[in-house]
Amino acid sequence: MKRHIPIGLLMLASLLGGCSDNAAYETSMCVLADVSGTYADEKHNIAKITKAGVVSQLLPGDSLFFIRIDSNSYNEGDLIAKLTLDYIPSKANQQRLAFAEKLDEFAKSKTRARYTDISGAMLLCKDFLKDVNSGNKAILLFSDMKEELKPGTTREFAKDEFDGIDIAAMNVIKLNADSADPKVYRDRLDHWEKKVTAAGAKSWSVILDAINVPDYVEQLR
Global pTM value: 0.89
CA distance 137 to 106: 24
Q: Which residue range is the domain that position 43 belongs to?
A: 27-219
In a domain? residue 21:
no
CA distance 123 to 116: 14
In a domain? residue 197:
yes
Give per-residue pLDDT as tens, 28-87.
Answer: 999 999 999 999 999 999 999 999 999 999 999 999 999 999 999 999 999 999 999 999
What are residue 173's phi and psi, to 5 degrees? Answer: -70, 150
Number of domains in the chain: 1
In a domain? residue 18:
no
Mean per-residue pLDDT, 185-196: 96
Among 208, 195, 133, 185, smallest CA distance to 161 is for 195
CATH number at residue 134: 3.40.50.410
In a domain? residue 14:
no
In a domain? residue 85:
yes
In a domain? residue 107:
yes
SS3 category, 25: coil
> Which residue type does 184 have?
V
Give per-residue pLDDT as tens, 115-159.
Answer: 999 999 999 999 999 999 899 999 999 999 999 999 999 999 999
Q: Which residues pair with 89 in a beta bridge?
A: none
